[in-house]
Amino acid sequence: KQILTFSRQSEIEPKPVQVKVILKEVLKLLRASLPVTIEIVQQIESAAAVMADPVQIHQVMMNLCTNAGYAMRDKGGRLTVKLVETDLNDTVARGMGDLKPGRYLKLTVSDTGQGIASEHLSRVFDPFFTTKPKGEGTGMGLSVVHGIVTSLGGSVSVESAPGAGAAFDVFLPTIEDQPPAA
């Protein structure tokens, strides 16, 4: 399914989606699958909507959170998920992958895991690139995240250092019309 999504062969049906609702659903699902040594912290401050297929938002969240959980599997830690609205001016937007200035939903998924080596940071969104042992990863998760986010007119970036965890920031353009309550 991820390869189909990455190659844009799957059917997508964009509609107004309240990310907050999907986020809470994903975190509930993850709580059951992550070790109890991993604390999940939710800082969901926005009910803004984006134009997307709900399955795409679900995939983005699952991939980012699953990777964070994997990074903390041995020692435990804290998975923090933040959802806020932010305004990007022309200068900031251009520096983030040529986004258009305006109102964005900023989703941050951060962990206190092992971090990503600096030599790997530039390749984390490449298809089939993985640092996981054979049989534990396909290298498609972050490339799918990147593909989905950019197809929605957004941007994704990562900050990390070995031993200092990782933080992924996803920016998605918001829409004026809020979807009806699900």
Q: Residue by residue, what is the 3-state secondary structure of 11-33?
A: CCCCEEEEHHHHHHHHHHHHHHH
Which pLDDT value is given to residue 37? 95
Which pLDDT value is given to residue 126? 73
Which pLDDT value is given to residue 11? 66
Report the sign of the C-alpha dihedral through residues 140, 145, 150, 151, in that order.
positive
Distance between CA atoms of 132 and 102, rounded to whole angstroms?
A: 37
Question: 3-class SS at 113?
Answer: coil
From 147, 108, 110, 107, select the one nearest 126 (Cα to Cα): 147
Q: Which residue ranges in the chain fall short of pLDDT 50?
A: 6, 9, 181
Which pLDDT value is given to residue 133? 61
Distance between CA atoms of 131 and 100, rounded to whole angstroms?
A: 33
The residues near 135 (Cβ < 8 Å, ≥ 6 apart) are: none
Distance between CA atoms of 86 and 42, rounded to whole angstroms?
A: 18
pLDDT digits (tens, 9 = 90+) for 41-85: 999 999 999 999 988 999 999 999 999 998 898 899 999 999 999
Which pLDDT value is given to residue 179? 54
Distance between CA atoms of 77 and 86, rounded to whole angstroms?
A: 28
Structure-token pair, residue 134 = 């054979």
Which pLDDT value is given to residue 177? 63
Phi, psi of 161 (to 5 degrees): -150, 145
The model's pTM is 0.86
